[in-house]
Structure 1
Amino acid sequence: MPETRKRLVRLLGAAAALTLLAAPTSAVAQQRRPVTPVTVPALADWTPEQGSYAFGAGTRLVADDAAGRRVADTLADDLRAAGHGVVPVTTGASRPGDIVIDVRPSAAPALGAEGYQLTSGRRLSITGATGTGAFYGTRTLLQLLAQGDRIPAGHTTDVPRYRERGVGVCACYIHVSLPWLENLVREMAYHKLNQLLLELKVKSDVHPEANTWGYYTKDEIRRLVALGDRYHVEIIPEINSPGHMDPWIENRPDLQLTDSDGNKQPARLDVTQQAAFDYYTSLMDEYAQVFTAKSWHMGADEYMLGSDYAKYPQMLAFARQKYGPDATPQDAYVDFINRVQAYAAGKGRQLRIWNDGLTGANTVPVAAGTTVEHWLDVAVKPSRLIAQGYAVMNASYSLYLVRGGFHSDTEALYDQSWDPRSFEGEKLASADGITGAKISLWPDNGSGETENEVATELWPALRHIAQATWGDPHPDATYAEFTARGTAVGPAPGVRDLTKVPVPDGTYTFRADGVSFRADVLRTPDGYATLRGTDGCLEIRGGKLTLNAPLQPGVQATWEPCDSQNTVQRWELEPAADGYHLFDAITRMALTVTDDGRVVQYPPDQHTPALWHLT
């Protein structure tokens, strides 16, 4: 009997083995299949090895050259911010458990300017041909450590497919808070995005008449640019021109384009005037004091939005005087672009423009060396622009997130395996001539969403553009699996929680500078607070509206009927000293108290925000 049982066991074992060989997709085989570590962007190339790397109390960061130490110093700060403790940066021989950062220029043929190699085993090593490449390797490491202190043994060579991987933000008209932008820079770097294209107003010393609200101080921009430099995110500024110039020339009617009926156009710069060019380039010079980017974005979109060149005969006259009888009015517009391009080039900067003004109606070509960001399907297609020698970035409308309006359908784009070759109106067979792609955030309805609501919509789109520009646009079978990657890697180290209300819900007395009021503080779902008193909720209402938002300084805060959908009734309580500053969630101005006891909003650099004591 025992022998019979043994033979039966042997027969069953053989049958089981045959079953496994015949069905390699069984659960057992799946368990044995090597698993690529989870990152965003996904690792396209991972070779597994036996064992794992263990991050622990004895881990050190080893870097022997200055470039490597800069990367290691940033990594040490991020490890601490991510809750991994204080990890020392040192030089010399490495030992098991260490993380080695190596910047090796000889690796450039394999890795380029931004690629890296990561090897995990008894120690973990990151090699880049440049500091930027090594830095991106540390972003992968941080994402892996976000999932646990043990990393599977193996190695990868990870190189981006496109050199421009970006996010565009129009912090124009509507002010976007500096902490929000700093969070964005950290998230971009964490996902290996390298360009923040920022349309904004810097407060001007040379042209104080242009300092209507929406601006940033030069010190604020220096702080943001320094963060971008440290995290390898190039921050490229834009002053949109010659259209959309109203933030700059609403108080300069002498520079506004005049139509044939004598009407001034406060959004259109008169490109036929030398004074207009001098004004614009003087603003460029001021921006050069705080921005370090090697590119300059002049916009150049929608110059004739809602009108046409026929209303401005001086444009045709200017073009024909300069370029002959066959010139068109659009040649005057292109002439302005080319003069700005030459000025930027003389300062060591490359020009960028949007594509919609290039309709083919001009006889004067845009200057060589200009990068065209393609967002709108017009007569001149991306393939033609590339054939003409222009570098083209994909900034498709399908990648837009409009505040209070159109939102990119990230899931549909992922399911379609969207990549930067897919432009509005044309899909290219080759990536040649395409620099990359970006998502764009616009404030068309300024009060339609708060910054925190925009952030919620942004993160899936940000991770998708990071994936589509760095590697395989469709690394997972389903969108749900792809979004699970974002959950696994979590937020970037060091991002601030901007949804945290620093006081619990309750009834408080607010006192500042001889003024007091009593209100219920109620947290909103997006992380602000409404202040509800006996006569309604505190709101900024009145004054000049810009993009549906009350952006005029000096407007009084009033008690209005409470409306949970009204975003200008939402407030940020910013801790300060032994009290709080109150910032409106939409206008981003702070409440201050006037000499006659009125509570009004002002930019914080114009009037010191009131310090509110809560009891």
Structure 2
Amino acid sequence: MAETRKRLLRLLGVTAVLTLLLAPVPAVAQEQQKAPVTVPALTDWTAEHGSYTYGRSTRLVADSPAERRVADTLADDLRAAGHGTVPVVRGGARTGDIVIDVRSSRGTLGAEGYELHAGKRLSVTGATETGAFYGTRTVLQLLAQGDRIPAGRTVDTPRYQERGVGVCACYIHITVPWLENLVREMAYHKLNQLLLELKVKSDAHPEANTWGYYTKDEIRRLVALGDRYHVEIIPEINSPGHMDPWIENRPDLQLTDSDGAKQPARLDVTQQAAFDYYTSLMDEYAQVFTARSWHMGADEYMLGSDYSKYPQMLRYAQQKYGPEATPQDAYIDFINRVQAYAASKGKRLRIWNDGLTGANTVPVAAGTTVEHWLNVAVKPSALIAQGYRVENAAYSLYLVRGGFHSDTASLYDQSWDPRSFEGEKLASGKGVTGAKISLWPDNGRGETENEVAVELWPALRHIAQATWGDAHPDATYDAFTARGTAVGHAPGWRDLTRLPVADGMYTFRTAGASFRAAVTRTADGYASIQTADGCLEISGGKLTLNTPLQPGVAATWKTCDASSTLQRWQLIRDSGGYELVNAITQMALSVDDGRLVQYPPDQHTPAVWHLTAH
């Protein structure tokens, strides 16, 4: 009888073990196995028992200069994100600390990868300072969702070297606070290149200083922010086409057609003076930009025309390269001369692809990076086979003011990745440097900056995901966008839609002018200013990209139109009052003989308006 009971107990024991092994895994245990939510998503996560808790006693432990730079930036961002003031210390770590570790011996992490381990302490390890920095971006995203981080380990490295955003702050002036927001958002999502086409106010060529330029001090501050956040800001002066912002007042440098008509947007590449002018601008930009690359654009040189209308191009090419040369060789020659000049200054050249149609006999110089946006005869695969570095800048990734907007949801559902070019899908990513989204102001008044931002953030998160890791980490686009909601905006990001005054009736007073008007917040976060005569608007003067960008143009009262972006205004605090800055032209109002006129702030001192509420 006793032996029978023993056999029964042994049998029950085996049954109990089998029941335990075959039972469904509890939901809590399943949740622990999932990687924490980040953008880009973590693809290599090993869960462990327990969790890390961020608290009042947390310190940042960093010893080397590189580690301390990363820790100092993280400390500032933690404070900006509302996580309090965290000391940066040297020496041994204790429970609750965040340890920053830069170890060159961890070469498998590459130049930008990192390892993160969450347990009693939180440790971030990179082979480089940049890698450790990216690990801290993941830390910030996790803490944005709560002070508890599940225990586990990840090794996170990017698939592509170049992960970017291109912005044409050309013609239209984009505000520095907006660009600063962009730099912070890019770094938060591990994007590393901001390709910026813009005009820096020139000391060497004052005749070129048409609005909307940036001052050198403004650019120095923006570049310093980019350097701190590991976002390389690469400048572009588009040439030899689209040069009108620079040569509209230099007819001597403009290409002349066979009818004798000057082309203010086309630089005459057959002139040595044109090359000297362009390289002098490059030298001036080198005073404020620290990037290792130079972008010369080189797109759409013959847009709306053809080389046959410019016989001097063929003469130049044949004199230099022989009787078999083509007019396009003169264009390629200019690119190669700029490439050589950039290389002499330690910089790599970048160009757009549309001019590389195969009609040239002279090849583009080796070492040039080609940004492919348009489907032309020479495909990306051919460029790669010829040895060029190729970045995907596909038209499908464009955001155009008042025009085409990238369909981010569709791209995500297609599992778009940087191998998918316009006109060709590559089997391999070999030779592809990465990808970027591009923002263009083709209709400058079509949308305000704040409206562009609404479209930008989903596209930015998508390009970050597609260039860093798995192009389709979630089953649906809604699930992917939920990641963006979970991690929120970068620390230090500013809400530029907040008005500093409440809606209501005010008297506006400044030296030489006063009026009474109703201030009403617009849907995109600007102010409509309305009197009995209508709404305050900038109109008239010379239009550039459908926008009145001429200094000295008057602001007048027009019939109110909620769709008119030129009737939207920023109220910027200044000396106890406010400057009135147009949301599109980004020029402030001054008073001239009782008239309200717009001027760049460094040309005319903006009027300071004092508001009295009624």
Q: With structure 1 as the length reference, what TM-score do the two structures score?
A: 0.96
| Equivalent position SS for 1:266 | strand
Match of 2:363 in 1: 365
Match of 1:609 in 2: 606
Question: 2:440 matched to 1:442?
Answer: yes
Select 2:564's aligned residue among 555, 566, 569. Answer: 566
Match of 2:595 in 1: 598
* 8 Å CA contact 2:32, 2:47 repeated in 1: no
- Give the AA of the match of 1:312: Y
Question: 2:86 matched to 1:99?
Answer: no
Distance of 1:555 and 1:29 partners within structure 2: 65
The alpha-carbon deviation at position 608 of structure 1 amounts to: 1.1
Select 2:296's aligned residue among 295, 298, 301. Answer: 298
Distance of 1:50 and 1:538 partners within structure 2: 62
Give the direction of change, closer, same or farther, for the CA distance of 1:174–1:32 in structure 2 (3 Å limit): closer
Match of 1:44 in 2: 43
- Give the AA of the match of 1:104: R
Match of 1:353 in 2: 351
Select 1:466's aligned residue among 443, 464, 468. Answer: 464
- 1:476-491 alignment runs, 5 A limit: 476-491=474-489
Distance of 2:299 and 2:201 partners within structure 1: 23
Match of 1:128 in 2: 126
Match of 1:210 in 2: 208
The alpha-carbon deviation at position 355 of structure 1 amounts to: 0.2
Deviations 1:30-74 (A, max 9, x none): 746612100000001010111100100000000000000000000
| Equivalent position SS for 2:328 | helix
Match of 2:391 in 1: 393
| Equivalent position SS for 1:216 | coil
Match of 2:237 in 1: 239
Match of 1:452 in 2: 450
Deviations 1:499-553 (A, max 9, x none): 0001000000001112101110000010000000110000000001000111000
Match of 1:551 in 2: 549
Distance of 1:32 and 1:405 partners within structure 2: 43
Distance of 1:433 and 1:550 partners within structure 2: 43
Question: 2:460 matched to 1:499?
Answer: no
Give the direction of change, closer, same or farther, for the CA distance of 1:84–1:33 in structure 2 (3 Å limit): closer
Match of 1:4 in 2: none
Deviations 1:455-496 (A, max 9, x none): 000000000000000000000000000000000000000011
Match of 1:83 in 2: 82
Match of 2:336 in 1: 338
Distance of 2:148 and 2:574 partners within structure 1: 41
Distance of 2:244 and 2:27 partners within structure 1: 66
Aligned residue pairs, count? 602
The alpha-carbon deviation at position 568 of structure 1 amounts to: 0.6
| Equivalent position SS for 1:504 | coil
Give the direction of change, closer, same or farther, for the CA distance of 1:438–1:263 in structure 2 (3 Å limit): same
Question: 2:374 matched to 1:376?
Answer: yes
* 8 Å CA contact 2:292, 2:346 repeated in 1: yes
- Give the AA of the match of 1:510: F
Match of 1:520 in 2: 518
The alpha-carbon deviation at position 184 of structure 1 amounts to: 0.2
Give the 4+ runs in structure 1 shifted more than 6 A.
14-20
Select 1:584's aligned residue among 582, 585, 594. Answer: 582
- 1:88-167 alignment runs, 5 A limit: 88-108=87-107, 110-167=108-165
Distance of 1:39 and 1:20 partners within structure 2: 32
Give the direction of change, closer, same or farther, for the CA distance of 1:310–1:554 in structure 2 (3 Å limit): same
Distance of 2:31 and 2:206 partners within structure 1: 68
| Equivalent position SS for 1:297 | strand
Deviations 1:190-228 (A, max 9, x none): 000000000000000000000000100000000000000
Distance of 2:355 and 2:37 partners within structure 1: 42
Match of 1:193 in 2: 191
Distance of 1:150 and 1:541 partners within structure 2: 54
Distance of 1:480 and 1:60 partners within structure 2: 37
Give the direction of change, closer, same or farther, for the CA distance of 1:513–1:266 in structure 2 (3 Å limit): same
Distance of 1:248 and 1:135 partners within structure 2: 38
- Give the AA of the match of 1:60: R
Distance of 1:457 and 1:431 partners within structure 2: 28
Distance of 2:190 and 2:286 partners within structure 1: 26
Match of 1:419 in 2: 417
Distance of 1:28 and 1:317 partners within structure 2: 76
Deviations 1:68-120 (A, max 9, x none): 00000000000000000000001011110000001111112x10010000000
Distance of 2:411 and 2:155 partners within structure 1: 27
- Give the AA of the match of 2:458: P
Distance of 2:459 and 2:18 partners within structure 1: 46
* 8 Å CA contact 2:503, 2:519 repeated in 1: yes
The alpha-carbon deviation at position 593 of structure 1 amounts to: 1.2
Distance of 2:225 and 2:515 partners within structure 1: 39
* 8 Å CA contact 2:32, 2:150 repeated in 1: no
Distance of 2:608 and 2:136 partners within structure 1: 41
* 8 Å CA contact 2:526, 2:568 repeated in 1: yes
Distance of 2:131 and 2:449 partners within structure 1: 31
Deviations 1:414-453 (A, max 9, x none): 0000000000000001111100000000000000000000
Distance of 1:428 and 1:469 partners within structure 2: 15
- Give the AA of the match of 2:578: Y
| Equivalent position SS for 2:199 | strand
Match of 2:22 in 1: 21
- 1:246-261 alignment runs, 5 A limit: 246-261=244-259
- Give the AA of the match of 1:147: Q
Deviations 1:364-411 (A, max 9, x none): 000000000000000000000000000000000000000110000000
Distance of 1:29 and 1:202 partners within structure 2: 56
Distance of 1:474 and 1:253 partners within structure 2: 51
Distance of 1:260 and 1:222 partners within structure 2: 43
Select 2:222's aligned residue among 224, 227, 231. Answer: 224
- Give the AA of the match of 1:21: L
Deviations 1:278-313 (A, max 9, x none): 000000000000000000000000000000000000
The alpha-carbon deviation at position 577 of structure 1 amounts to: 2.1
Distance of 1:32 and 1:171 partners within structure 2: 45
In structure 2, stretches of 5+ residues that fail to align are 1-10
- 1:49-64 alignment runs, 5 A limit: 49-64=48-63
Question: 2:534 matched to 1:536?
Answer: yes
Question: 2:277 matched to 1:276?
Answer: no
| Equivalent position SS for 1:543 | coil
The alpha-carbon deviation at position 597 of structure 1 amounts to: 1.9
| Equivalent position SS for 1:437 | strand
| Equivalent position SS for 1:441 | strand
Distance of 1:361 and 1:296 partners within structure 2: 25
Distance of 1:372 and 1:31 partners within structure 2: 46
The alpha-carbon deviation at position 334 of structure 1 amounts to: 0.1
Distance of 2:169 and 2:219 partners within structure 1: 12
Question: 2:314 matched to 1:313?
Answer: no
Q: With structure 2 as the length reference, what TM-score do the two structures score?
A: 0.96
